[in-house]
Structure 1
Amino acid sequence: MNAAAEAAVTATEVVLPGKVAPSGLRLAQRALPAPAAGQALVRVESTAVSFAESAMRRGRYYGQPSFPFVPGYDLVGIVEAVGPGVDHALVGRRVAALTKTGGWTTAALLTAADLVEVPDGIGPDEAETLIVNGLTAYQMLQRSAKVRAGQTVLVLGAAGGVGSVLVQLALDAGARVIGTANPRHHEALRALGVEPIDYGRPDLAARVRELAPAGVDAVFDHLGGASVTLSYRLLNRTGTLVSYSIAAKLDDTRPVLLDFLPLLAKLTFWNYLPSRKHASFYDVWAGAGKPDSAKREAFRARMRTDLTHVFDLLRDGRLTAKIAARFPLSEAAAAMELAESSGRTNLGKIILAP
């Protein structure tokens, strides 16, 4: 396709029509116009299923759009055309994008300034595993908790999409890593260098204290709810708790704010105690600001710097892409069912390949 696309492109996309089971997802086609000023048309090569989509189909992701909409938190693809004001050298390049929604499609019109180039030598599926997951893991580890070599960290859900990247980044930084996971994942985690604990054992806290009697330097908690209190108690005197989801409340039926606001209040309250511990909630979109604002430019620069660094670690072999399974886009329902299955046996991210 030429840089200045004249004809409309027809995209096949997965639509989430409302609060439905995965089987309620439907395929649709939509004509995309040529890129407008500042836009790029991206042919999607890889996208994925994340926790966000599972929350959104239940109407439990804070800030999600009104139904119906196209899910898909991130994507990797090739730039097919660009609009006025965008460097034509971008055409033909593989790029990554953090989208929040809209990624489950064969083609997308995106703001060119939001795109991050994927280094040569990295395939689309491998890059896809590290966009929201890698960015989240890296920023929590380095910008929130500031983990250093020699410290001990506890990662809840160490076999999940974010967890499987987080443990690798922590080990690469020289930290000791304790990770909770289903026992079926323990062998794979040990091979990475993680000290695994069965997430379902009733004496989990006691086991962590056996491994780290003085407490851990950081805990990364995706569960929310009562879990964060336990996580905070497992910190040492100067430790940091980073909460980044409320997965334990996924199936609640009450408004999500009724779970989210008490969590934020608890984390804030702990920071006012006469203690050197610290607690925070991580949001990958924090500080994004409004489009075309100075805050948005700073957010883009930070995202590009951090994601490029994570891609470089992958290219250099210091990080391994963990792909749990791969489905065609037309089988998004089956991919989501696997992602939400208690019997899931693979470690890493579930890829959708348009």
Structure 2
Amino acid sequence: MKNPTGRNGTTERTSNDASPLASSTVTEAVLPGVVAPDGIQLRTRPARPAGPGQVVLAMEAAGISFAEQQMRRGKYYDQPPFPFVPGYDLVGRAVEVGEGVSGDLLGRRFAVLTKTGAWASHVLVDAGDLTEVPESVDSAGAETFVVNGITAWQMLHRLAKVRAGDTVLALGANGGVGSTLVQLARIAGVRVVGTASATHHDAVEALGATPVDYRAPDLNDRLRTLSPRGYDAVFDHVGGEGIVDSFRLLAPRGTLVSYGTASTRDVPGSSRAPVLKLFGRLMLWNALPNGKSAHFYNIWAGRRRADAFRTRLRADLTQVFALLAQGALTPQVAARIPLTRVGEAVRLAESGTVVGKVVLVPEDPA
């Protein structure tokens, strides 16, 4: 299945050349519809060869993020119709390349943002979407910084444009994005206040943030006490009616960055209505003459300009991986669970009892 490099430096396909790393079958987890975690199905199918410009990655780690939790409920804003294979991101090793792709990629490890399809033993991706992962870092650890790292980095540096000395508020500071955001903000010299349940306060404090119990009846008073002038940026994944408090907590000329509607995850009804209501609020707030700004972060924004999108994403993720390789970032791997136990992994990720990210791996780590 491998495509060797020809004399002229281009890749050549041969019908009888097989890579020892490639597989003739693929195991994948399928969402058949709105089901409980145990209803996620495993199936094995024949492998599809890499087409022009494509690469097959043998999955070494794939994450379970909030997006998949919404997809399981049919609540993600633009998810594909059932049945489909979830999986927003992965780290894997290149085992086959298609026409027009250099054979030098074979055997190297890459991260890729997929949106769907990553919960599989082998994943077919476009070569242009790959970002190389330093060999000095662990695959599961690197995986926790793919969608989470891109999200946190771009919210901090491209939207909020934080500066050393700023004070920011991170809701859900124990989560995958939250724990990454805390670390990146501290590296930038930014003070962080983070909400989390009391159980996770020690972990949040260890990351460098001041923890506050999100269940506290006087939550907003506590948050105002910790930053009397308001927050230079608030990062809110909760949405719902609480987004109003997030905007009110901003300092003059502060920035609200909304990146989810977690509060409506289990609410029956349209998946679009909460998002559209949120967009309406953000637009209204941006029209107010108070110097504050409000944004909704969409990791896929600018995708239509493919080259610019890929360049920006690769540049940001490369910076995150460099910090990881230097030891400046600590991966928050909540658990490593084999793909064959995907239902168990999803239950744990949705339990609210863990710090960081649950990661699927090809086989039992033991």
How would you bin the TM-score normalised by the shorter chain? Answer: over 0.9
Task: Tell me the residue number matched to 2:111.
Answer: 96
Change (3 A) 1:133 1:348: same
| Structure 1 contact 133–161 (Cα < 8 Å) conserved | yes
| Structure 2 contact 337–360 (Cα < 8 Å) conserved | yes
Letter aligned with residue 320 of structure 1: T
Letter aligned with residue 108 of structure 2: R
Q: Once the 2 structures are TM-superposed, how far is the Cα of residue 120 of structure 1 from its aligned partner?
A: 2.4
Q: Is 2:166 the counterpart of 1:151?
A: yes
What are the Cα deviations for residues 85-141 of structure 1, in whole angstroms up to 9, with x where unaligned?
A: 011111111000100000000001111111111122012111100000000000000
**Matched pairs, number:** 347
Task: Tell me the residue number matched to 1:292.
Answer: none
User: Unaligned 5+ residue runs, structure 2?
Assistant: 4-12
Q: Once the 2 structures are TM-superposed, how far is the Cα of residue 252 of structure 1 from its aligned partner?
A: 1.4
| Structure 2 contact 194–210 (Cα < 8 Å) conserved | yes
Task: Tell me the residue number matched to 2:338.
Answer: 328
Task: Tell me the residue number matched to 2:358.
Answer: 350
Task: Tell me the residue number matched to 1:114.
Answer: 129
Aligned match of 1:211 in 210, 226, 239?
226
TM-score of the pair, normalised by structure 1: 0.96
Distance 2:241 2:129 in 1: 36
Distance 1:58 1:188 in 2: 29
| Structure 1 contact 5–35 (Cα < 8 Å) conserved | no
Q: Once the 2 structures are TM-superposed, how far is the Cα of residue 5 of structure 1 from its aligned partner?
A: 7.4
Letter aligned with residue 22 of structure 1: P
Distance 1:5 1:231 in 2: 58
Task: Tell me the residue number matched to 2:60.
Answer: 45
Matched position secondary structure for 2:240: coil
Q: Once the 2 structures are TM-superposed, how far is the Cα of residue 81 of structure 1 from its aligned partner?
A: 1.2
Distance 1:33 1:107 in 2: 9
| Structure 2 contact 179–207 (Cα < 8 Å) conserved | no
Matched position secondary structure for 1:13: strand
Distance 1:159 1:191 in 2: 11
Matched position secondary structure for 1:310: helix
User: Unaligned 5+ residue runs, structure 1?
Assistant: 290-294
Change (3 A) 1:246 1:14: same
**Map 1:195-274 → 2, pairs under 5 A:** 195-274=210-289
Distance 1:187 1:91 in 2: 42
Task: Tell me the residue number matched to 1:36.
Answer: 51
CA RMSD of aligned residues (A): 1.1
Distance 1:118 1:98 in 2: 13
Distance 1:98 1:9 in 2: 24
Matched position secondary structure for 1:226: helix
What are the Cα deviations for residues 221-264 of structure 1, in whole angstroms up to 9, with x where unaligned?
A: 00001111000000011100000000000011111111110100
Distance 1:350 1:134 in 2: 15
Letter aligned with residue 225 of structure 2: E
TM-score of the pair, normalised by structure 2: 0.93
Q: Is 2:306 the counterpart of 1:305?
A: no
Distance 2:176 2:71 in 1: 17
**Map 1:9-24 → 2, pairs under 5 A:** 9-24=24-39
